[in-house]
Structure formats: C-alpha cells, structure tokens
C-alpha cells in the first residue's frame, strides 16, 4: 500500500514503504480511520509538520481519503519510526459546530450548501428531498448532526461517505456481494446476539405543543423486553419529524443486536454497504448480511488480514 500525504501548502509526498498499517471503513460515524507506520527519514520532518490530508492507495486504487490528526516519531532499538493517524472526511463535519438555525421548507441541497460545502467536501449524490415545514438545528449541533438530522427526518436515511471522501446523501443501495462458504480460508468467525439496550418503545414528546408520538419495537416486545426511552424535540415538530425520530431511535438500538465478525486473509475485499452471503452450516449461518464495518490491516508478522463486521439487513 502507498500512503500519500497532502500538505497544507499544497505539496504531495509519498511515504516510504509501510511496515504496518490499519485502514478502517465505516462509511458513517464513527469515522473511517487509519494508522500507518514507516521508517523515519530526516527529510520527512517538514512534510509531517505540514501534513493535512492523506490517501491510502492499493494497487493503483484509492481506498481511503481523509485528514491527518496526529503523527509520532519514535527512536527504538530497531530504528526510528514515524506513525500517522487520522480519520475520514466525516471528521470535518463532526469537528465543526453549527450556529443555531431554523429553516423553512429547506431542501437537502440547501442543507449541504450551508453545512457541508464550506468544509471542502464534495457531494457525489444528493436525494431530492424537502423539509415541507420547519427544520431546526439546535445550538451545539455539529455540522454532521445538522446534515444527518435532515436526511433522517425527511428522507428516512443516513448520509455516508465513500472511500474517496465524497458525500453520499442518498438512501443506500446494496453494493457488490461477497460469497463465503465453509471451503473458503476463514481465519475466524464469531456470532453475537446482544439484547442489552434494544428499545421496546421510543416516546417522542414535543414539549411546546404538549403532544407525543410512540414508536414500538414489536419484535423485542414479543421476546419479553422492556426498555423505553423518552425523547424531547424542539417546539413545532411535525408528525413526520416525530415519527422519524422515534423510528430512528428504535433502529439505532437494534443495530448491534446481532453481529457476525468474520476474519479473512487479504485486504479491501469489501466495503460498508456491500453484502456478504454466508453459507456456514456448522454455525447455522445461511444468510446474507450487510457489511457495517471493515478493518484492513497489515504487518510483517501477520500479513494482510481483513475483518468484516456484518449486521442484519
């Protein structure tokens, strides 16, 4: 893999051949992230001080674009090493706070223009959705929260970032499908079902109008669960906004209910949004899952390893 640095004064520098690296893709929040370690050379000092952007390139293809959060230089018995760490472009929206704002009949294009474009982020796709009423960005909200809240409330989806650092503000469509069966070289496979924190009810209350809207998780109720959260929204929330808020809370709580963690040799075989069709009868896994997170890592001792976190669709 090639680690490429973009400096704040608009220079490009390719790092020496990496000794180890980790690239984690989530597509959303928490951000994509990376760590890369190389042999340090003295001429790298001014580059590291000005390092602002980063690209990971595998076989001529960009597999991650992001920012540089930190670097370290370590002198050890085996030599001097430099390590860079950073996050994907979602970090730019998470790190910047929005002013409190109230929109009337705003479109997603207007939200992107106000909360995304000023931070140097390109939008590859944006849905044609409109608020059809009031949309409020509360004080203390990040630019990411302003964007995601609009997409969730009026579009029913969460925005994402692709591997090139571009915003995808559209509902997700299934990507490519990776098929894994018992004959494949699986390093490990773990299945976990965890019901802790899975909501049975989300009660959304508009304090100003003194109205409420309840969304229930019938599957969890049928299993005997009892876990209710009460969410207070800003005044003048529409019924759609309250419904989406409740449904979002339910869906978020269900995301970690069942997970499959699959470790394979290789790297960059799948990305968030792709599907993995498992045919592992010994583990009673004959199902297609969505790729939620991917960790690609390399070291001299381990080689290239891919860890997929899979969630139910």
Query: Angle CA(97)–CA(95)–CA(174) in degrees, nearest 5?
Result: 105
Residue 36 has pLDDT above 80, yes or no: yes
Fold of 177-193+257-311: Phage tail proteins - horseshoe like beta roll fold (2.30.300)
List the domain boundaries for the chain. 2-88, 93-169, 177-193+257-311, 201-254
Which pTM does this prediction carry?
A: 0.84
Q: In sequence order, what DSSP letters do the residues of 227-280 get, joined into one string?
A: -EEEEEE-TT--HHHHHHHHHHHHHHHHTTSEEEEEEEESS-S--TT-EEEEEE
Nearest to 202 by CA among 211, 212, 194, 193: 212
Q: Which CATH class is domain 2-88?
A: mainly beta
Report the chain's C-alpha Rg in angstroms. 22
Q: In sequence order, what DSSP letters do the residues of 210-240 get, joined into one string?
A: TEEEEEE-HHHHHTT---EEEEEE-TT--HH
Q: What are the tens digits of pLDDT across the range 261-307? A: 999 999 999 999 999 999 999 999 999 999 999 999 999 989 999 99
| Per-residue confidence (pLDDT) for residue 215, from 0 to 100 | 85
Q: What are the tens digits of pLDDT across the range 94-147? A: 999 999 999 999 999 999 999 999 999 999 999 999 998 889 999 999 999 999
| Per-residue confidence (pLDDT) for residue 236, from 0 to 100 | 57
When comparing pLDDT for 72 and 236, which is higher? 72
Fold of 93-169: Phage tail protein beta-alpha-beta fold (3.55.50)
Domains 93-169 and 177-193+257-311 fall in the same CATH topology: no
Q: What are the tens digits of pLDDT across the range 180-208? A: 999 999 999 999 987 777 888 888 888 77
């Amino acid at each position: 893999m090639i680690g490429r640095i973009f400096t704040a004064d608009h220079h490009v520098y390719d790092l020496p051949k990496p000794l180890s690296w980790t690239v984690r893709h989530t597509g959303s929040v928490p951000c994509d992230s990376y760590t890369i370690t190389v042999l340090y050379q003295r001429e790298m000092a001014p580059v590291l001080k000005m390092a602002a952007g980063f690209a990971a390139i595998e076989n001529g293809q960009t597999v991650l674009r992001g920012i540089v959060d930190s670097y370290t230089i370590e002198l050890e018995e085996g030599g001097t090493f430099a390590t860079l760490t950073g996050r994907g472009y979602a970090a730019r929206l998470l790190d910047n706070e929005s002013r409190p704002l109230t929109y009337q009949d705003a479109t997603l294009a207007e939200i992107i223009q106000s909360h995304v474009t000023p931070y140097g982020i390109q939008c590859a796709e944006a849905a044609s959705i409109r608020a059809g009423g009031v949309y409020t960005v509360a004080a203390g909200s990040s630019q990411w929260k302003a964007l995601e809240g609009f997409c969730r409330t009026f579009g029913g989806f969460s925005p994402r970032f692709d591997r090139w650092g571009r915003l995808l503000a559209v509902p997700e469509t299934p990507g490519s499908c990776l098929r894994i069966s018992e004959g494949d070289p699986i390093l490990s496979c773990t299945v976990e079902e965890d019901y802790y924190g899975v909501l049975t009810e989300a009660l959304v209350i508009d304090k100003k109008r003194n109205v409420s809207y309840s969304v229930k998780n019938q599957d969890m109720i049928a299993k005997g669960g009892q876990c209710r959260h009460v969410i207070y929204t800003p005044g003048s929330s529409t019924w759609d906004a309250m419904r989406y808020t409740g449904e979002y809370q339910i869906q978020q709580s269900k995301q970690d209910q069942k997970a499959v963690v699959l470790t394979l040799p290789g790297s960059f075989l799948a990305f968030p949004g792709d599907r993995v069709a498992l045919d592992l009868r010994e583990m009673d896994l004959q199902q297609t899952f969505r790729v939620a997170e991917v960790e690609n890592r390399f070291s001299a001792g381990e080689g290239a390893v891919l860890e997929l976190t899979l969630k139910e669709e």
